[in-house]
Amino acid sequence: MRILFLVFIFSTSVSSRADEGMWLPNLISTMNIDDMQSKGLSLSADDIYNVNKSSLKDAVVALSWGSCTGEIISKEGLLLTNHHCADDLIQFHSTTEKDYLKNGFWAMNKSEELANENLTASILVRIENVTERVFSKINDSNTEDDRRKKIRAVANEISNEISDTSRYTSRLRSFYGGNEFYLFIYETFLDVRLVGAPPSSIGKFGGDTDNWMWPRHTGDFTLLRIYADTNNKPAKYSKENVPYKPKYHFKIQLDGVENNDFTMVYGFPGSTDRYLTSFGVSQALKLKNKTIIDIRSKKLEIMKEGMDKNRETYLKYATKYSSVSNYWKYYIGQNRGLRKLKVLEKKKNQEKGLKKWIHSGGDIKVEKYKNVLPSIENAYKKNEAILISRTYLNEAIFRGPEILYFSYSMQREIKKAIESRNTGLLEELDKRAVNYYKNYDESIDEKMLSAMLEMYYYNVPEYQHPSIFKKIKNQPFSRSLDFDYFASQVFKKSIYSSQNKFSKFIKTPSLYKLSSDPAYQIIESIYSYYTNNISQTRKEVRDELSKNNRLFISALKEMNSSSQFYSNANSTLRLSYGNVKDYVPSDAVHYDYYTTVKGIIEKEDSTNEEFVVPKKLIDLYNDKNFGGYADSDGSLRVNFIDNNDITGGNSGSPVLNAYGELVGTAFDGNWEAMSGDIVYEQGLQRCISVDIRYILFIIDKYADAGYLIDEMTIAESRK
């Protein structure tokens, strides 16, 4: 999912629209509230964001610092988010005997809820504008390095001013490319437990086929619970902890939504690039996206082949496969959208208008902005020479065969433990490795190593090849460029290729064996080459873009000073608002604004794992046993769409009606607007959500976990 920046059409005035933009909640009172209320909102700005009394913001949660969003839906810290946001937790707790991915998981009382190491839930306490404080330390003469150092120093100063650091954390974030700065204070909870999740046949119904598509019929939800100490403060997992008592929790509205109803999404969108120039769009189309698609296609092929062999391997790789697949399809869709919607042409027109404005002003304006676009263009030309190599490093090496990054992450700590003769640390590393190998298959990873090295060799320019490829070319027994053979030898000799080998090494460690490990030598060779030969150019590109993008955004705001602007998403709390909306994706095609459980039955295919429907759900459908969650016509809605502006990180965000009541949970965007991270597509862009009534139906009628609904607050009907 994605979002963030006004599309500038220079022949007309620039203005924000109800369906476009991710807005800082502390600025709603001055920037958006009148527009929101004119569109149907029945709340005040204080109801949405307030630091002196409870407000909607107190029920919105960043999971693991913004990887996904969740919302608090009971007085006992019950938390709702997406199934795909928690599938790694579900997978971690699954075994072939207790297959929670396949069968679902439901704690029938709090003692059965499952703890999750490293899962956190952060609730925003307040936002402060600290732009003046930051700019008192920096100026235009600073290098980008100096600028970053001084900003970090301010962040550290502020952090040291927090009185209760055991409870609160601060994060200083830049906005509008570094033209403004805001401080975010959070309370972060460390004990978050798994409460309930439907089987993947409900939570991921449609799989990769339906991903990013509409119509959808996916029950993409999971229930968690926040725990605190007896003083309601954050604490590490303990049996003594108790359910968190929130300042605010969302009421559940069972009326549903109708076309054109006002809705808003409150969450933590991850990253957008709405201010991307034509040079960046062009490079994404020509090089970056295609390279990522090619690499991920091969990774998916290898994982799928291994996963199809047995259920145990499937469980190990289900979450990894989904993670790779999600943005593999995203980049395919983004390229399609960028071309079909002529985004490159729109960006070029935007820049023509900006040039005209720059040179129509006085000398001060010309002097300040005249080199901005040429400098950005020059930076992208520099970047083009190293982009393929850098992308292969990230996608094929660090995120490719797991043995490489695991060896890299372990090497320094093992060496330190050996040199200091710290047996306790060695034992700790051995224990840490257990979780890694729990979800590891040696045969899949060996094939992955062979394939990624081969793709690297044939796609990265030869003059940018690290020394490891000379070794592959000079293999004995006429094995030159035999990547399968090379990978087999690596796995035969590496201490990292299995848990048994790793544990055996830890018991009898050797610095020589550690430094000569073939898996580590591969990643060390490739990363060292990048560090010594490419990273400096990358730094120059990054600094040049940082400075000139900041000026570019400043120029746009100055040129359109009467307009309301929003900044790119950066995993901070934002609010978007719009309306439930059907749409016309192409000629003679019309998509309605909701789907029903009937569509699940129509898609059912027992021979395709993506479209298997549990027998109990079929029985409930046939019996029309929908409880009180159906429409007046007897149909049970599953998903609905609106034109709220979202992106990755918004997954799991609450979708609220005009009264701030929960009507759904956001989980995806639509295929026709996959360029939405770069340009919001008016008329096409849609947020896909699970209807809250379908969620309650699954909890109540399918899972027989009605006690969870009993702790929720059901709002009075407004019909």
| 71 DSSP β-pair partners | 60, 80
Backbone angles phi, psi at 577, to 5 degrees: -145, 150
Q: CATH 3.30.750.24: does it fit domain 25-120+190-274+568-710?
A: no
Q: What is the pLDDT of residue 478?
A: 83
631 is known as an active-site residue: no
pLDDT of residue 246: 98
What is 307-339 written as a DSSP string? HTT-HHHHHHHHHHHHHHHHHHHHHHHHHHHHH
Average pLDDT over residues 551-563: 92
206 alpha carbon, distance to own chain's centre: 20
Mean pLDDT of 171-190: 97
Tens digits of residue pLDDT in 217-276: 999 999 999 999 999 999 999 999 999 999 999 999 999 999 999 999 999 999 999 999
Opening angle at CA 200, ends 707 and 70, nearest 5: 60
User: What Cα–Cα distance (Å) separates residue 35 from each residue in 260, 298, 329, 333, 494?
Assistant: 15, 48, 35, 32, 62
pLDDT value, residue 17: 55
- Whose CA is closest to 342, among 30, 626, 678? 678
Mean pLDDT throughout 368-392? 97
Is 84 part of the annotated catalytic residue set? Answer: yes
Indicate left, alpha or beta for 68 from its phi (over 0: left) and psi (-120 to 50: alpha).
beta
Question: Given the structure tokens 């001013």, which residue do they identify?
Answer: 161
CA angle 289, 291, 293 (to 5 degrees): 70
* Two tokens, residue 232: 């309601």
pLDDT band at 661 (very low <50, low <70, confident <90, very high): very high
Q: Residue 626 in 3-state DSSP? A: coil
- Rounded to a whole number of angstroms, the CA Rg of the chain reads 26
Both tokens assigned to 319: 């979450």
pLDDT of 511 > 80? The answer is: yes
Burial class (CB in 10 A: 0-12, 13-18, 19+), 137: middle
Residue with tokens 């989904």: 322
Cβ neighbours, 10 Å, residue 313: 18
What pLDDT score was predicted for residue 364? Answer: 85
Res. 14: pLDDT tops 90: no
pLDDT in tens, 522-543: 999 999 999 999 999 999 999 9
Is it the case that residue 476 has pLDDT exceeding 80?
Answer: yes
Q: Is residue 10's pLDDT more than 90? A: no
Share of the chain above pLDDT 90, in %: 93
Residue 651 bears catalytic tag: yes
User: Does the pLDDT of residue 3 top 50, yes or no?
Assistant: no
Looking at residues 472-480, what average pLDDT do you find? Answer: 91
Task: Express as a percent the part of the chain with pLDDT over 70.
Answer: 97
State mean pLDDT over 637-647: 97
Output the pLDDT for position 207: 96
- Which secondary-structure segment (H or E) carries 578? strand 574-579
Residue in 84, 217, 249, 465 annotated catalytic: 84
pLDDT at position 590, please? 97
Q: Is the pLDDT of residue 658 over 50?
A: yes
Other beta carbons within 10 Å of 13: 9
**pLDDT classification of 9: cutoffs 50, 70, 90:** very low
State the Cα–Cα distance between residues 266 and 566, nearest whole angstrom: 15
Residues 58 and 194: their CA atoms lie apart, in Å, by 21
Catalytic residue among 55, 200, 651, 689: 651
What is the arithmetic mean of pLDDT over 119-139?
96
Task: Give the span between the Cα atoms of 664 and 657, in whole angstroms.
Answer: 9
Q: Is it the case that residue 620 has pLDDT exceeding 80?
A: yes
Phi, psi of 624 (to 5 degrees): 50, 40
> Does the pLDDT of residue 15 top 50, yes or no?
no
Q: Work out the pLDDT band at 545, boundaries 50, 70, 90.
A: very high
pLDDT of residue 12: 28
Task: Tell me how far apart the alpha carbons of residues 645 and 655 are, in angstroms, rounded to a whole number.
Answer: 12
Find the range with the poorest average confidence among 11-25, 94-108, 448-462: 11-25
pLDDT in tens, 679-708: 999 899 999 999 999 999 999 999 999 999
pTM of the model: 0.93
Task: Report which of 17, 171, 16 is spatially closest to residue 562, judged by C-alpha positions.
Answer: 16
36 closest CA partner among 564, 692, 556, 689: 564
- At 2 the pLDDT is 34
Catalytic residue selected from 220, 517, 645, 691: 220
Q: What is the pLDDT of residues 130-163, one digit of tens each?
A: 999 999 999 989 999 999 999 999 999 998 998 7
Amino acid making up residue 588: A
Tell me what the pLDDT averaged over the chain comes to. 94
Helices (H), 560-673: 597-603, 615-622
Q: Where are the domains of the chain?
A: 25-120+190-274+568-710
